[in-house]
Amino acid sequence: MLSYGITDIQTKPSLIKKMDIGKIIDKRAHTTLGYYISAKYDKLITPIIKQIEKEEKLNKLKILKAHQDLEFAELGVDDGL
């Protein structure tokens, strides 16, 4: 995957037309701003992204549920004293 600087894209917007998949970075701040994926790959990429987002949400819910279960268990112990 090629990396493109944000200032390069700002000075030459035609770079986007040439890109299929690219990593957009801010060279001054040394951070990744995001990724560019051409529309022709949309049908392939969208289901994968949705699946990843779904798995991330489920993992967050499981962590939250475990945390809540611990809080309720602690409350039950405190009530018994």
Whether residue 29 contacts residue 9, with contact meaning beta carbons closer than 8 Å, is answered with no
pLDDT value, residue 74: 63
pLDDT at site 42:
83
Q: What share of the chain has pLDDT > 70, as a percent?
A: 85
Specify the pTM: 0.49
Going 45 to 50 to 55 to 60, the CA torsion angle's sign is: positive
Using DSSP, state whether 49 is helix, strand or coil. helix
Q: Backbone phi, then psi, for 19, in 5-degree steps?
A: -80, 140
Per-residue model confidence as pLDDT tens digits over 3-43:
888 888 888 888 888 888 888 998 888 899 888 888 888 88
Domain boundaries, the chain: 1-37, 39-81
* Rounded CA separation 29/37 (Å): 23
